[in-house]
Amino acid sequence: MTPFRWAFPIVVVTLLASLLGVMYLDYIVDPEKNLHDFPIALVNQDVGDDLSTGGPVKHVNFGDQVTDGLRTAVPADKIDLRVLGINEAQLQMQSAQVYGTIIIPSDFSKRLGILGVGSVVPGDITRPVITLQTNPRTGAFGTTIVQKFGAQALTQVNAQVGQQLTDQVKTTLTPPPGGPPAPQLTAATMITLAQPLNIVVDQFRPLPGGSGEGLTAFFYSLLLLLAGMVGAMIIHQLIDSALGFIPTEWGPWYVHNSRAPISRTRTLLLKWSAVVVMAVAVSAALLGIGSALGMPIDRPLLLFLYGAFVITAVGVTCTSVLAAVGTAGLIINLIIFIILGLPSSGGTVPIEATPKYFGWLASFEPMHQVFLGTRSILYFSGGGTAGLSRGLWMSTLGLAIGLVLGLVITRFYDRRGLDRKPAGAVA
């Protein structure tokens, strides 16, 4: 063996490990810095109120002021703040199109006015509420980002509204020229006026127990992808061994069957048939295991069919790549489905919190499409807009690419007489 041949696998593994390190560390090192276009809905239901601040009565709408303040203060390059009606916001929450919603109620201005009056009149008063709804079904990391955003933005809004309300109360209490001195506000009143809002954090459709804080969809998707890829590689090796194209070692025993008189195309069709049967069996096994472990599965038949289809699509494509380029297909499949696929899946860290090139990868990488479909089935009742439609169409496209690639390449090899035999052997 020459030094080059000895060093070649070391170089290949080092390059693969380096690519793996870049992909996996780059997407997790600094999500806050990488945050971009993170969608959050803002619903302003405030109808306003007629208030008097010592002068003529005027109509005010503090909800509009809060909305304008948020739109101005929120960095547009990081947060995609969508001003929506309550129905549209709920639809987007139900279809995983937004990670959270800020809701300003219809009586917001009225309650702020009551709070201002109540600060100088004895009696119990209730602080106006702004609700921050998280969407836990989009994932734990996305929920954390929404909560952090809410803590920063709404704290700032609370302080601004408090300053405005304090000034309004002081103006109202200012006596006319020659009148008695204005009453002094107590320390407790000043504290209430400085922080007048009650920020309530609420979950929109909380996840049921056994959902792994929104991670079961990711790991189930990973299982489907690995079953398709690893299963295809095992089927490829074992069938090639049975047909005599490669030797088999069982411990100290070395077996090399006689080479079967079969074309590349027929060999590939044989492998595809095994992949389809394997996909059905594995999808059923995963569904049974998930149910036995207490994972909530509202639509088991849909999950089984989707899982079998995904495993078939991945397995067919992997075997086609192996049929086209041989042993190098192992590396190609590893890069496509694992090294590039997992970080761009959006299953652990939202795509909007990763470097922008991950968004480009997510537009075609199999893992992201599989995850969207699985998450839709497990958490969003199998809604098409929640990702199932995209998962199905992209899996269909991947299957079509695998079928065409495999048939075209193997038929080309067969027509050129490129049989699978050792160099120098007679056909």
Q: Which two tokens stand for residue 397?
A: 């496209």
Q: What are the DSSP E strand ranges found in 153-237?
A: 198-203
CA dist., res. 100 & res. 247, Å (int): 56
DSSP code of 202? Answer: E
Q: Which two tokens stand for residue 404?
A: 């065409």
Classify residue 276 as exposed, middle or buried by CB count within 10 Å of its CB (0-12, 13-18, 19+). Answer: middle
SS3 30: coil
Which of 331, 389, 392 minimizes the C-alpha distance to 366?
A: 392
SS3 80: strand
- Residue 252: predicted pLDDT: 83
CA dist., res. 82 & res. 93, Å (int): 12
DSSP code of 247? Answer: -
- Residue 185: predicted pLDDT: 58
CA dist., res. 404 & res. 329, Å (int): 16
CA dist., res. 36 & res. 259, Å (int): 56
Query: Tell me, what amino acid is at 100?
Result: G
CA dist., res. 419 & res. 424, Å (int): 12
CA dist., res. 265 & res. 110, Å (int): 75
8 Å CB contact between 228 and 272: no
Residues in the chain: 427
Q: What are phi and psi of 103, to 5 degrees?
A: -120, 120
Classify residue 70 as exposed, middle or buried by CB count within 10 Å of its CB (0-12, 13-18, 19+). Answer: buried
Domains of the chain by residue range:
34-174+183-203, 211-415
8 Å CB contact between 371 and 221: yes
Give the Cβ contact number of residue 30 at 10 Å. 12
8 Å CB contact between 87 and 77: no
Q: For 73-121, how does the pLDDT look when each residue is reduced to its tens digit (9 = 90+)?
A: 888 899 999 999 999 999 999 999 999 999 999 988 888 877 766 555 5
Cα dihedral 191, 194, 198, 199, rounded to 10, equals -130
Which of 410, 67, 98 minimizes the C-alpha distance to 268?
A: 410
Average pLDDT of adjacent 10-residue blocks, the chain of 427 residues:
87 93 91 93 89 68 88 90 95 95 91 69 72 94 93 87 73 59 60 80 92 93 97 94 86 83 94 98 98 95 98 97 93 93 92 94 94 96 93 96 96 85 55
Instruction: Enumerate the β-bridge partners of residue 82.
Output: 41
Instruction: Enumerate the β-bridge partners of residue 14.
Output: none
Query: Tell me, what amino acid is at 172?
Result: T
- Residue 110: predicted pLDDT: 86
8 Å CB contact between 10 and 330: no
- Residue 250: predicted pLDDT: 80
Q: What is the DSSP string of 338-399?
A: IITTTTTS-SSS-GGGS-HHHHHHHTT-HHHHHHHHHHHHHHSTT-IIIIIHHHHHHHHHHH
Place of tokens 């995904």: 310
DSSP code of 20? Answer: H
Residue 55's contacts (CB-CB under 8 Å, 6 or more residues apart) are none
- Residue 427: predicted pLDDT: 47
CATH class of 34-174+183-203: alpha beta
pTM score: 0.89
CA dist., res. 314 & res. 233, Å (int): 11
CA dist., res. 202 & res. 9, Å (int): 53
8 Å CB contact between 108 and 62: yes
Q: Which two tokens stand for residue 331?
A: 């590396």
Query: Tell me, what amino acid is at 132?
Result: L
CA dist., res. 269 & res. 238, Å (int): 14
